[in-house]
Every structure is written in structure tokens, then in C-alpha cells.
Chain A
Amino acid sequence: MKWLKIILFLLPLTLAFHNLDAQQRFPKPEFHTHYTQPTPTTPEPRGVGMEFFDVLVLLVVLSLTSWFAIRKRSRNGILLLTVFSAIYFGFYRNGCICTVGSIQNVALALADPKYVISLYALLFFLLPLIFSLFFGRVFCGAACPLGAIQDLLIFNPITIPAWLRKTLGFIPYLYLGLAVLYAATGTEFIICRYDPFIGIYRMNGPHLMIYLGIAFLLMGLFIARPYCRFFCPYGAILNVFSRFSRRHLSVFPTKCIQCKLCTTSCPFEAIDFPDEEKSKPDTKTNSRKFILYLALIPVLMLAGAWIGSKSHVFLSKAHPDVYLAELLISHPELKTDSKNIDIQTFLASGKSLETLVAEAQVIRDKFKTGSWILGAFLGLVIGLMAMNQVIFRRREDYQANKGNCYSCARCLDYCPVE
């Protein structure tokens, strides 16, 4: 009888044995004492249900910043909001997901048929852009946790020559283009991977990241907001959007009296000076230049597209599957390298090299399309940047540059006009 029981007990087990890749080697014990078997715990994720509250907070901070920057003209108000954002979005909510990184979620949602973006990530992406179309870069002014930590640590900003500023100003567009390319091809989220401040906000992270963050902050003592000005990909979009904003922070409340008091107030050199009468360019040569640069844009875009499509092989190597396939083809001897985890796992998985290569080829084809678009986009950016140099806009006052101004409101206190 006892044996029958055991056989009956073991029968389903032997069946399960086959189902589960022979994982069940030892029978389930039959306890005779009063032993209660524990169950594995499943701790709840942190901050569940806070996402939409975060969206609300973002909305409030953006609205208040707009009000402080444009109506109330209060630097202190904005400073307070900046501190709040650094504490709330940064130290308390630990940064993820942030607006800057949400670019990648949007790009992936558009490109990957299987990826679903959560509504709050989409809102985090959209809200600051919509605000920038009406009130300028108020997001940068106080709401962005990355900007906030840099803004609070500006100590003694130095002046950066205009040519250097403008040249380095190209990097954000490059970064933006690469981030979108890598996100859309499902390679990786480079903005998140190289976010210098997240480790500081979490007070935990890979050491390299923390050091990078500290390096940025130290640099920021003298070069105000280095990440914002020379790297931030979202800032690149905001820069363009903000140029068309309906209203914008103004250095002077009513009329500029040319007192020049504000000229040194902006740590980011975002205040445009009035043009001197004699520097007014000769209209004829200028318009000829304008037409030349305009005609140059398609040429630059074509050249960019060509360079882009040439570099797609190189760019696609960042994708792990492409990298592995290439490695196995070019160095077949590595198959015996027991230390190479990727190769060993691939060999053990029983997948054929042909399948891997075919999959890698699909990804590389995506890169082919993506790379020439990226190249053309960068060509367009260079063309527009060059054209911007010859467009002559009459300027009579000292006024914040709508593209570059972060709406931090520092300059407002310098203006003596009531």
C-alpha cells in the first residue's frame, strides 16, 4: 500500500520531470514535524501610483515658473522652485523617468511595433515642449532636475567666446540624433546610460557615473550649466521650440534704457546686445550670402546622408546582436574562449549562426535607413546654423535670446527700469 502511494505520488512527478527539462531530481519531501513551508515574498515596487502625481507636480512647477518669469519677474520664486525640483524630482523620486530621457521612449514607441509607452512618459515628453511654445524654456528654468542641480552650483561663471559656444552648440544635436537612432533601433538608451547626475540623485551607482557627475558639477562652478549648454539633447529641441514662443521672459519690464547693467548678469551669455549702427552689413552682399547658404543646405544634407549611410556599419556595432555576429564571423577561434560569456551563452543556446546573422542583418538594415536620415538631419542643422549667422535681425535693446535663455530670471534683478 505504501509503495502504491509512492508510485502514485511519483507518477505525476516523472511526467513533470520531462516537461521541466529534467529539473525535478529530488522528490518533494514529506515532513513529519510541524514544518510550515515559507512562500517567496514579492515586495511591491517603489512609488507605485505616483506617476500621475508627478505629472501634476510637473504641470504646477511649469505654470509657476512661467508666472514667476514673465509676470511676477521674481528670481527668488524661480530659485525656490529650482530647489524644490532638485529635491522632489531628483533626490526624492530618483530621477527616472525624466523628460530628457523620455525622448528615447517616444522614439522607440514610434519605431518598435511591440513597445508600448506609458501615458505619463509621453506627458513628461510633451508638457515642457508645449510650455516652451508659449512661455519659453521654463522647463529648464526650474523644473528639470538635471538643470536644477547645475543651476544651484553656479559659482563664478567665465565667459566663453562666441565662436566656441556656437561650435560646441552642435553637440546636443548630434547627441539627440544618435540617441534617437539608438533608441529607435532598440540598441540602447544612451541618454540614460550617460546621464551624469542620476547617480548623485540616487546617491548610489556605478563609480564612474558618480565621478562623471561630480566632474560636471565642478566644471559647472565656472562654466555655467555645462551639460545643458553643450550636451543636453532635449535642450536642443527646446532651443528650437522656444524661438517661436508666444511670450517670453524679458530682461526689462517696459523699455530698455540701454544702461548695460544686465550685460554681465547672465551666466550663460544668453543676452543679445543691440547691433551697432556701423556694423550693419551691406544688404546686397548679405542677401547674396543668404541665398548661397540657403542653396548650401540641400548640399550639406546630401553630403550628410552620404556620410551617414557610409557609417551605418560602424554605428550598428553598438547593437549587441550585430556585434556578436561580427565577432563570430571575424574571429571564429573565439568559440573556444571559455571566458567570453556572450559567445558561450550563444553556443549553448543552440541557435545557429545563420539565424544570428540573419537577425543582425535585419538590425543593420534598420541602421542603414536610420543613419542616412541622421546624416541628413545633421547636415540640415549645420546648414541652418551657418545661415543663422548671415540672417540680420535688427536689435535695438538688450534682450534675452529666446533660444538660449533658460528663463532663470537672474538678469531681471539687474534691470533698473521699474
Chain B
Amino acid sequence: MDRKKFINNSGRLVLLGGLAYLTGSIIYQRKVSASGKYVWQIDPFKCTQCGRCATECVRDLSAVKCVHAYSLCGYCDLCGGYFKPNTHKLNTGAESQLCPTGALNRKFVEEPFFQYTIDEKLCNGCAKCVKGCGSFGNGSLHLQIRHDLCQNCNECSISRMCPSNAISRVPIETAYLIKGDFKKPAVSTPK
């Protein structure tokens, strides 16, 4: 009986020691952050608009949405993100739109400018408009993970599949990387 107790106690001590060693070495190497909370972020300057953001997110409708940096936009009539490349009729007919879900809205502002907004309920993050805007326009449309929708998976399913390694884990204070105006990208904080 005593022998059993001895084995039990020493086993427990060894395992506790193991846990302490593991924790200690993580703390010692400063690998733990007490206040840190992390979220996933797309770097729009690395993203190559491969289209996987629409298909790899664990949510039915991806948590990745197109975001519009208005201050970078040319408000073009012939918007490269809105119209299919060879469209001649610049109307809002579905057949001339690039967006497969019709999530991009075009609104007349004043001659000759048009404002483009994204309906996040429809956007599936496929990046077709982002690609169009980047190739023919100013590149004001870009993808971001929307954190009100994101589940903040322990490992983002898209990050594993992203061919450009554009998705990484960042501190929550810098959750978004919204393209700024003409200057360098501003890192914006959630309110």
C-alpha cells in the first residue's frame, strides 16, 4: 500500500515539475503575453487576389469582405472594380458587373464621379473587384477580415491556404490594415 502511495506521489511530483518546466521556459523566453489578444489580418499589399478568401473561410459566407479606401478612389465612371473588362454599356445591369454577387453599389455623386460602396451582406470576399480595381484603377478596393464576423479561429483556415502568405496573426490593437490615402497604409484600431 505504501509503495503504491510513494509511486503515486512521486509520479505527481514529476508531472508537476514537467508542467512547471514547460511554463517556466515559455515565460523565460518571453513567449507569453499577458495582455495580448490576437486576431487575424490580411495585408492588402501582399494579397494577390487569388480568390481563396471566398472559399477557405470556415464560415458559409466568408468573414473576409472587400473594403473601400474612399480617399484613394478616383470615383471613376469606368470603374475597373465594378465593370467587367470589356463592357461597353456603363449601366448597372448585372451582366456588365464584375461582382458575382452584386455586392458593389454604384451611386452617382456629381459629374463625372461615382461612389462605390460594398454591401457586406452580399460580399463573399472573392476579390474579383479588388483585382479589377488594382489592374485598371487606383487599387482602393481591398480585402480585410471583418472582425464582427470572424470567429477568430485558433488557426485561420484561409491563412493556411493563402498562396501569398498575406494573412498573419496581429495584436488586436492593430486589427485592421485599411489602405490609407495616397500615402503609406494607416493601421487602424477598433474603436
Contact = CB atoms under 8 A, between A and B. Distances in A.
Contacts of A32: 110
Nearest to A16: B182
14 contacts: A29-B74, A40-B69, A42-B191, A44-B191, A45-B148, A45-B150, A48-B37, A116-B32, A202-B58, A205-B58, A240-B15, A244-B8, A320-B160, A342-B163
A345 B190 contact: no
Contacts of B71: 28, 37
B68 interface: yes
B191 to A, nearest CB: 6
Given A44-B191, A106-B26, A244-B12, A96 B183 contact: no
B178 A45 contact: no
A44 B152 CA distance: 12
Contact of A241 (B15, B76, B113): B15
A202 B163 CA distance: 27
Given A42-B189, A122-B32, A188-B160, A35 B70 contact: no
Interface residues of A, number: 72
Size category, B interface: 35 or more
Interface of A: 12-13, 16, 20, 23-29, 31-33, 35, 37-40, 42-46, 48, 51, 94, 96-98, 101-102, 104-106, 109-110, 113, 115-119, 122, 126, 129-130, 133, 188-189, 192-193, 198-199, 202, 204-206, 209, 240-241, 243-246, 320, 341-342, 345-346, 348-349
Contacts of A106: 22, 26
Given A106-B22, A205-B60, A45 B152 contact: yes
Contacts of A97: 154
Nearest to A119: B34
A341 B11 CA distance: 52
The 7 A-B residue pairs whose C-beta atoms are closest, nearest first, are A26-B74, A244-B11, A43-B148, A45-B147, A345-B163, A189-B155, A44-B190
A98 B154 CA distance: 9
Contacts of B23: 122, 126
Given A25-B136, A44-B191, A104-B154, 5 more contacts: A23-B138, A25-B137, A26-B74, A40-B178, A118-B36
Contacts of B113: 29, 31, 35
B101 interface: no
B4 to A, nearest CB: 8
A246 B7 CA distance: 11
Nearest to A203: B60
Contacts of A20: 139, 182
Interface in B139-170: 139, 146-148, 150-155, 157, 160-161, 163-164
A3 to B, nearest CB: 20
B51 to A, nearest CB: 7
B31 A345 contact: no
Between A45, A209, A348, the greatest number of chain B beta carbons within 10 A of the residue's beta carbon is seen for A45
Contact of B39 (A35, A45, A209): A45
Contacts of B16: 130, 133
A345 B50 contact: yes
A340 to B, nearest CB: 10
Contact of B175 (A42, A105, A115, A341): A42
A35 B110 CA distance: 9
A243 B33 contact: no
A208 to B, nearest CB: 11
Given A129-B19, A130-B19, A341-B52, A116 B154 contact: no
Contact of B163 (A28, A39, A204, A346): A346
Interface string B30-73: 11111111110000000010111000001110000001111110
A44 B154 CA distance: 18
